[in-house]
Structure 1
Amino acid sequence: MALSAETGKVVQWRRWAFANLGSVLSNFGSLWLLLAPLLAAYAPRRLFKTYFNLFLRRHARRLLAVVDPYVTVDVSEPGGASAHYSRYGRVTDSGDSTYEEVKAYLSDGCAGEARELRAEGASEGDGVVISMRDGQDVADEFRGAALWWTSVVREDAQGQQRAHTRRCQRLTFHHRDRRLVVDEYLPHVRRKGREILFSNRRRRLYTNNKSGDSFRYDYKAWSYIDFDHPTTFDTLAMDTARKREIIDDLDAFRSDRDFYRRAGKPWKRGYLLHGPPGTGKSTMIAAMANYLDYDIYDVELTVVKDNNDLRRLLIETTSKSIIVIEDIDCSLDLTGDRAATQRRGRQNDRDDGSRRHDRDGSMVTLSGLLNFIDGLWSACVGERIVVFTTNHVDKLDAALIRRGRMDMRIEMSYCGIEAFKTLAKNYLDVDDHRLFGPVGEILGRESITPADVAECLMTAKRAGSDDESSRLEIVIDELKQTAEANAKAKAEAEAKAKAEAEEEAKAAEMDRDNTREEQNGRKSPKI
């Protein structure tokens, strides 16, 4: 009840203030005309300024709040450079990114109402960024609340000699919507702005620099180029059903942020791509990056000094990215043959199976790589995919590719008829033909990689004939020759491997004989 009485008093006061505002201001003006000469003559200038700032301005603001119920919020552009390279190479924000996010939000939606616009060159690419000119304003609406954005230029004093001009986006709204604007609308604007900035950026392909150069003042852990690979899942030579399964898995990962949080798991996923050379493992990574619109971080383990540097590389990656380690069975000693490794005299950590190289090379261990994949530090950035590729999955340590680290194994096999149809469409623009039957018989009988099939199709394309049958006949001849060449190369490789195995067996037998002779010599009594 007391609250209702207090509210009634406020209403009565506001009614009286509006009714008598003219007379109050008139009396105040008359009083000021009498006091101003006295204050100017007898009061020190500093005392006058202090009195005005601390007393009169405060009461003026209270009076203004009764007359004008609107609140303004300025979102200013950063004062200096908005980005810089950290010690380990990633571009990081040195200031607040709110201004750019608000600017992107207004450029995408609200700026369409403005009649006078400003065009600025995009930081990446040849496009332009459209924004409002100074003094222009646009209206926005959020959950029933009316809001207005105005582009203004503000002058910030920086010392006595100069002033700095800074642009800002000014938001105006009714004071009753203060909580809605602060708690919901402004976070909504920032999220939408980040999405727009992300979608307009150029994707990048990163590679890590040698860790030994980290003492240099200009050292950057990552170097990058713009990533512009044309491969998509539509042009990827692969079985259609398997391709659909991978796409569905990627879609589920991208939209399952809340699920990962509820389950208490870092928002990441691992893929193991394995298969013979030429089956499209690297092409699959490019298709995944293009489909998800992610950056790629290509990690070269042989130039990483130790586990600590590997951890730093992980910290410097961003979300919405794919971390790739290609040919992981060749990068370091990460195979599963631990006993053989111990016999060769390498250090073997019995607890975690880690191995160390000499001091001049990489000291990255299996344990360090496992922590890199799914340790505590792996949760520092969300929405990230880890991809390993290998030609020999059976050589990898089981701890490296177990479930939970590599969530999905994708076998990149030899070319089948489904993959051939995709390649025929890509190279010859042929959807279907009667000669696809003989081609399917050859591919079902022989082990031919998609890379070899693509080369056969390229040969047919360069033949110059426009007839589909003639081109496909050339493809069939090329496939037969490729199959014969592969069979010959396979036989030679098997013969070479057999000879090397026999040589190793002979060498091992000689070592055993020498060892027995040495032992017998030590046991024989002296005469």
Structure 2
Amino acid sequence: MMILRNILNEIVPQPIRDYITPKVVALFSSYFQSSFTFVIEQKWDFCDNQTFRAAEVYLTTRLAGLSSRELLVGSSDLKNPTAEPNLGIPPNTKIVDEFEGIHLEWTLHSVETKTYPYEKRYFNLTCKKEFRDKKMKDYFTYLAKSAEKIMRHREDLYIYTYNREGSSWQAAIFEHHTSFETLAIEPQLKTTMIDDLDAFSKGKDFFKSVGRAWKRGYLLYGPPGTGKSSMVAAIANHMNYNIYDLQIQSVSDDGELRKILTATKNRSILLIEDIDCGADASRRRQTKNEEDVELQKQKKKPDLGISLSGLLNFVDGLWSSCGEERIIIFTTNHKEKLDPALLRPGRMDVHILMDYCTPFVLKKLVAMYLKIDDHVLFDPIEKLVIEVNVTPAEIAQQLMASKNADIALKGLLEFLENKKMKKEEDTKVEEEGEIEDGETKE
């Protein structure tokens, strides 16, 4: 072999050797090697590879007893820096698994590239050749089901924001503790939401039978400070779903929107807040005169941004089928500004008014913040709550002023009385203005 190698090096030119050598190695390997390797890349077609994602989730449960010289550890828990770090999958480290007595070896590889996404990540799964078909038939199904089970019982939820420079979603631990038990809303709305969410989570077969994507759309609308963000947190905690918070005004066009949205995972919430402010595509269609005025304003501006059709195509079009068990939530302070096409059934399935404080919501907030169920000031405060528009956020702010119930409720009463006086003054000014306008016309 040494003589043969020397002869080849002396006689055969280098380019020919480079061409022949891999083919000879592959030929001998196919006959003499007893192992087979599956390559599982992070990307598959236009979307993330679901098998890769399942492997990422599943293999973290096989790291505790990993016998290697290094381990990947870290924590994204900003609220608890002293918490025990989590284990991550270290690159180029062999992870051993066993399935029905068959020995399996996993290895994560990462290679830098010169084009997007600038890093190619993939798993190698190695087993004996004779078990290749069994792996394809049984093991990958077991892998997917195990990962799904782990995700349903995960302890930490994450909120993602899109990093446009890196073209990727970046995560932080979501520790908003609002639940439907602590959310200050009317009992009927609470029951309606819980029943609807539970029916959705169990509706896979139903959605499939009627030929619809397994998704649900909620529109939360109402004045600022009425608990729209808290409602989102309660939904996420009830469903145990991660949140993808998309600032839609930062999306340049429909193509980028598709790339962003198809990178979200199943069993998640896509949140687009203040949609009436974020994209021209979501706003009410204008009249002819309004269009002419707006056209003159926009003549010198570049034609950028997402279109209404681009947004609707993901909400209710063909692209809505790329993924399942997803909840889409839009929030707005001005429902009337949204294009009617965005509000049709099948796009935003449930419209939820998050309104001003009611007597029930008031008592719920007082019970949570002051730990009392009754007080001598309840009656005058309830009457003022009915007379003036006050948000739950404003009520909560007043209740947090003191842990002493007498002091906190007295401050709340004064706040509501001042709010009532201001309302009466504003009404008086408006009436006087209308009278003056009428006299001027005469």
Instruction: Tell me the TM-score normalised to structure 2 length.
Output: 0.68
Which residue of the partner structure matches residue 517 of structure 1? none
Query: CA-to-partner distance for each residue in 1:325-381, whole Å, 9 max, x for gaps?
Result: 222222234443621763552249xxxxxx978634743333333223212122212
Which residue of the partner structure matches residue 266 of structure 2? 319
Alignment partner of 1:370 is 2:317: no
How far apart, CA to CA, are the structure 2 residues paired with 1:277 and 1:128?
38
Letter in 2 for 1:207: T
- After superposition, the Cα gap between the structure-2 partners of 1:277 and 1:195, relative to the gap in structure 1 and judged at 3 Å, is same
Which residue of the partner structure matches residue 371 of structure 2? 429
Alignment partner of 1:338 is 2:301: no
Q: Percent identity?
A: 31
Which residue of the partner structure matches residue 415 of structure 2? 482
Q: How does 1:41-60 map to 2 (within 5 A)?
A: none
2:42·2:52 contact (CA, 8 Å) conserved in 1? no
Which residue of the partner structure matches residue 22 of structure 1? none
1:356·1:364 contact (CA, 8 Å) conserved in 2? no
How far apart, CA to CA, are the structure 2 residues paired with 1:360 and 1:250?
42
Which residue of the partner structure matches residue 144 of structure 1? none
1:335·1:396 contact (CA, 8 Å) conserved in 2? yes
How far apart, CA to CA, are the structure 1 residues paired with 2:173 and 2:299?
34
SS of equivalent residue, structure 1 residue 317: coil
Report deviation, 1:387.
1.2
Which residue of the partner structure matches residue 386 of structure 1? 328
How far apart, CA to CA, are the structure 1 residues paired with 2:251 and 2:437?
33
How far apart, CA to CA, are the structure 2 residues paired with 1:404 and 1:497?
42
Report deviation, 1:265.
0.6
Q: How does 1:202-213 map to 2 (within 5 A)?
A: 202-208=156-162
Report deviation, 1:94.
11
1:105·1:196 contact (CA, 8 Å) conserved in 2? no
1:202·1:227 contact (CA, 8 Å) conserved in 2? yes
How far apart, CA to CA, are the structure 2 residues paired with 1:171 and 1:105?
23
Report deviation, 1:271.
0.6
Report deviation, 1:273.
0.7
SS of equivalent residue, structure 1 residue 406: coil
SS of equivalent residue, structure 2 residue 402: helix
2:55·2:143 contact (CA, 8 Å) conserved in 1? no
2:279·2:305 contact (CA, 8 Å) conserved in 1? no
Which residue of the partner structure matches residue 307 of structure 1? 254
Instruction: Tell me the TM-score normalised to structure 1 length.
Output: 0.58
Query: CA-to-partner distance for each residue in 1:37-68, whole Å, 9 max, x for gaps?
Result: xxxxxxxxxxxxx9xx99xx99xxxxxxxxxx
Q: How does 1:5-404 map to 2 (within 5 A)?
A: 92=48, 96=52, 100=56, 103=59, 126-128=84-86, 147-148=100-101, 150=103, 183-184=137-138, 186-196=140-150, 199-200=153-154, 202-208=156-162, 219-220=166-167, 222-333=169-280, 334-336=282-284, 338-339=286-287, 342=290, 345-347=293-295, 359-360=301-302, 362-404=304-346
RMSD between aligned residues = 4.8
Query: CA-to-partner distance for each residue in 1:370-398, whole Å, 9 max, x for gaps?
Result: 22321212221222111111222233222
SS of equivalent residue, structure 1 residue 346: helix
How far apart, CA to CA, are the structure 2 residues paired with 1:387 and 1:504?
44
How far apart, CA to CA, are the structure 2 residues paired with 1:151 and 1:245?
48
- After superposition, the Cα gap between the structure-2 partners of 1:376 and 1:453, relative to the gap in structure 1 and judged at 3 Å, is same
1:414·1:449 contact (CA, 8 Å) conserved in 2? yes
Alignment partner of 1:458 is 2:391: no
- After superposition, the Cα gap between the structure-2 partners of 1:240 and 1:494, relative to the gap in structure 1 and judged at 3 Å, is same
Report deviation, 1:410.
0.8
How far apart, CA to CA, are the structure 2 residues paired with 1:171 and 1:124?
36
- After superposition, the Cα gap between the structure-2 partners of 1:389 and 1:241, relative to the gap in structure 1 and judged at 3 Å, is same
- After superposition, the Cα gap between the structure-2 partners of 1:412 and 1:135, relative to the gap in structure 1 and judged at 3 Å, is closer
Query: CA-to-partner distance for each residue in 1:44-100, whole Å, 9 max, x for gaps?
Result: xxxxxx9xx99xx99xxxxxxxxxxxxx9988897xxx769x9x9x9x569956755
- After superposition, the Cα gap between the structure-2 partners of 1:391 and 1:493, relative to the gap in structure 1 and judged at 3 Å, is farther
Query: CA-to-partner distance for each residue in 1:94-146, whole Å, 9 max, x for gaps?
Result: 99567556545668xxx9xx9x9889555655445599xx99998x8xxxxxx
How far apart, CA to CA, are the structure 2 residues paired with 1:127 and 1:369?
39
Report deviation, 1:279.
0.5
How far apart, CA to CA, are the structure 1 residues paired with 2:95 and 2:249?
56
How far apart, CA to CA, are the structure 1 residues paired with 2:398 and 2:245?
30
Which residue of the partner structure matches residue 347 of structure 2? 405
Number of residue pairs aligned between Structure 1 and Structure 2: 383
1:357·1:363 contact (CA, 8 Å) conserved in 2? no
SS of equivalent residue, structure 1 residue 382: coil
How far apart, CA to CA, are the structure 1 residues paired with 2:157 and 2:435?
51
Letter in 1 for 2:179: T
Query: CA-to-partner distance for each residue in 1:417-466, whole Å, 9 max, x for gaps?
Result: 33233322332233x224484244443343221011101210132xxx4x
1:301·1:362 contact (CA, 8 Å) conserved in 2? no
Unaligned residue ranges in structure 2 (runs of 5+):
1-23, 77-83, 108-122
1:324·1:386 contact (CA, 8 Å) conserved in 2? yes
